[in-house]
Chain A
Amino acid sequence: MPRREITSGNWAFAEAMRQINPDVVAAYPITPSTDIPMKFADFVANGKVDTNFVTVESEHSAITACVTASAAGARVMTASSANGVALMHEIFPIAGCFRTPIVFGLVNRCIGAPINIHCDHSDSMAERDAGWVHLYCEDAQEAYDTAILAIRLAEHKDVLSPVFVCQDGFITSHGFEPVEILDDAAVKAFVGERDADFPLLDVDHPVTYGSFAMSEYYFEIKRQQIEAMKNVLKVYDGVAKEFEAVSGRFYPKLDRYRTEDADFIVVVMSSASGVVKDVVDELREQGIKAGCLRVRMFRPFPADEVAEILGTAKAVAVLDRALSIGGTAPLAAEIKSALYDCGKNIPVQSCVYGLGGRDFFPQYARELFMDLAAGKVSREERYLGLLE
């Protein structure tokens, strides 16, 4: 029987790792994801897992060891945040191109300077073109469930991709809340065992990974990656449904909340969506047709579905917890692009909020919806909760 525990996002992710019992974990501590390797080390020290836990000397070595272990045929997991993620930057596209499945607990934290340990999405957004699947979780339950689901997605033969499972630093990673933990046996049966194609350790069938490909071949290899990433959109729902059969919880690519007949929709990712959904309920009681669209899958970006959901709205606001200084914030850029491609000229207000862990309060969402309703939509990026 599943059990309910009061736990944090980090501990829930680590608990999923215990149940998955991967072959190799190579990790290096960094706030706010440190709890994950720490908790996992505890499992190793007490015989709760028999994973080969490689305590590397940097994040760069952590991700390198994950890539080569995965190429060797092992099931591999790790976790990191912020500057650790930035230090891994060089290796992420290599993992993507090698098509090496890795499930990565990315606990979102801002990138300095100024140095700051709190949440925003600037670390993962900087990796959005690395050829990884990006899944953003709203709460600890979802982080736990997604860790398990992502194993099957990453290792799916039509996908073979590393996956980031993102949760908000401190807000989710250190917030304690009830989480339903599945039976060990149910998780074990769901994830099964990895059946690797072309593993490096098959010495009777030697393979070369990471060769030198110049302009005659590079482009074609990248094209193959594009196709594999498109496959994620095709197979994801099937994997999510299988997970639902085990857990009773279905996680769509896009979490729509009262969007069906909504005139005004706020698009958001991760933990802030709870606040937006509360405000949607409040405004609905006042007769305002508000809705919330939470983007859970950011890569590949489900653009067609996004356009379909937003296509009937009168106005849309997009909340980004990351910047693209001198350009359009990452989520807003995707949303505008998706709408443009399907010929929808819907006013879109781009808003940046919560940088460096700045709190996101209901009144910000309330004011935003009221502005959408009043037709106050500008091409200028807005900054919510900024003191100026």
Chain B
Amino acid sequence: MAIRIKDFTEKESPLTNGHRMCPGCGAPTAVHQGLMGVESPVVVVNATGCLEVSTTVYPFSSWRVPWIHTAFENAGAGVSGVEAAYVALKKRGKIDKEIKFVAFGGDGGTYDIGLQALSGALERGQDFTYICYNNGGYMNTGAQRSSATPKGANATTSPAGSVLPGKLQKPKDLTAIVEAHHIPYVAQTTLFNATDVAEKVKKAVETPGPAFVNILVPCVLFWGIDPSLQQDICKLAADTRFWPVYEVVDGVWKLTYKPKKRVPIEEFLKPQARFRHLFKGDGAKAMLEEIQADVDADWQVILDRCGATWEA
């Protein structure tokens, strides 16, 4: 059933106001939008990262739900342990409630250092949802590159200099890597409208077994955008096909958002300070062309997987 915005406004978010995330940050929006659609009580497991440090500054906590963080690379294992305890205690009659388990990790904790723990948890088939709030870099430590950082981005460990035009490599396709674990629900989305995240996360949480949602979210400091542009930049990510929005249910791929017209990648890149250098000089132009070619090729792969066509 589709989620209505009205449902959001009448429900208390598991994450309170007054946390210390930056204005315009996409991570708390992903948490609000994601968990607002979930009916059951949830326990949240968090990888180390901005969301973790900024919402639990001792002796305060911004979480209205049970929450646990141990380290950076192990949210997959952490959620496994809590879920395992739940299954055990329920079997022994010590718990009777229906509880759901949601892990949050940034792209650092998910694409890179936490990939092994996530893969293990997915393979074991435990019942949890893993949400990657993907802002394309290590923001908690100051805008270093990750394997989710877009090609051409100026990051502090792949700076745009006089010789190198920022990050040289394109991001790994983590959503497809997760899908290759043959889990029942995988989705990729962004904060481009008010309900898509909520609908996908609700589906993920309600699906028995492991589920994964990769949500592209802006970091206003790294991306170099005005905080008020959160939804606009996400819409451009979807419309330029930089970030295809789709889901995979039991192995069946489905494009859930088709841009109405062909929007050049420049429109997503240009508003962001991290790509500013790509708009100066002739050498940079080649990089823009390369990025556009990547987007077109990757989009075709997604269309093929979804058995879809797209004309614009």
Chain A residues engaging chain B, CB cutoff 8 angstroms = 23-24, 26, 50-52, 54-58, 60-62, 64-74, 76, 90-91, 94, 200-203, 206-214, 217
Which of A65, A211, A213 has the most CB atoms of chain B within a 10 A radius of its CB? Answer: A65
A73 near B43: Cβ-Cβ < 8 Å: no
- Decide if B81 is an interface residue (CB 8 Å cutoff): yes
Q: Compute how far the CA of A201 lies from the CA of B52 in the bound complex, rounded to whole angstroms.
A: 19
B56 near A208: Cβ-Cβ < 8 Å: yes
Q: Compute how far the CA of A26 lies from the CA of B126 in the bound complex, rounded to whole angstroms.
A: 13
A58 near B67: Cβ-Cβ < 8 Å: no
Q: Compute how far the CA of A51 lies from the CA of B87 in the bound complex, rounded to whole angstroms.
A: 10
- Decide if B286 is an interface residue (CB 8 Å cutoff): no
Q: Which of B58, B61, B82, B91 contacts A69 (CB 8 A)?
A: B82
Shortest Cβ distance from B57 into A: residue: A212
Q: Compute how far the CA of A210 lies from the CA of B79 in the bound complex, rounded to whole angstroms.
A: 14
> Which of the four size classes fits the interface of chain B?
35 or more
Shortest Cβ distance from B78 into A: residue: A68
Smallest distance from the beta carbon of B35 to chain A beta carbons, Å?
Answer: 13
Shortest Cβ distance from A23 into B: residue: B88
Q: Which of A64, A94, A208 contacts B81 (CB 8 A)?
A: A64
B81 near A57: Cβ-Cβ < 8 Å: no
- Decide if B175 is an interface residue (CB 8 Å cutoff): no
Q: Compute how far the CA of A94 lies from the CA of B69 in the bound complex, rounded to whole angstroms.
A: 10
Interface 1/0 per residue, B71-111 and A, CB below 8 Å: 10110111111101111110110110101000000000000
Q: Which of B94, B97, B117 contacts A64 (CB 8 A)?
A: B117
Contacts of B57 in A (CB 8 A): 211-212, 214
Smallest distance from the beta carbon of A284 to chain B beta carbons, Å?
Answer: 51
Smallest distance from the beta carbon of A161 to chain B beta carbons, Å?
Answer: 17
Smallest distance from the beta carbon of A217 to chain B beta carbons, Å?
Answer: 5
Contacts of B66 in A (CB 8 A): 200-203, 206-208
Q: Compute how far the CA of A210 lies from the CA of B49 in the bound complex, rounded to whole angstroms.
A: 12
Contacts of A51 in B (CB 8 A): 88
Contacts of A64 in B (CB 8 A): 70-71, 74, 77-78, 80-81, 117
A–B pairs, 30, beta carbons within 8 Å? A24-B84, A24-B88, A26-B81, A57-B120, A61-B116, A61-B121, A64-B74, A64-B78, A64-B80, A66-B81, A68-B77, A68-B79, A71-B68, A72-B86, A74-B84, A90-B71, A91-B70, A91-B71, A200-B68, A201-B85, A201-B99, A203-B41, A203-B99, A206-B65, A207-B67, A208-B63, A209-B68, A210-B52, A210-B56, A211-B61
Given A65-B77, A71-B68, A72-B81, 8 more pairs with CB closer than 8 A: A23-B85, A58-B116, A61-B120, A67-B70, A74-B88, A201-B66, A207-B67, A208-B61
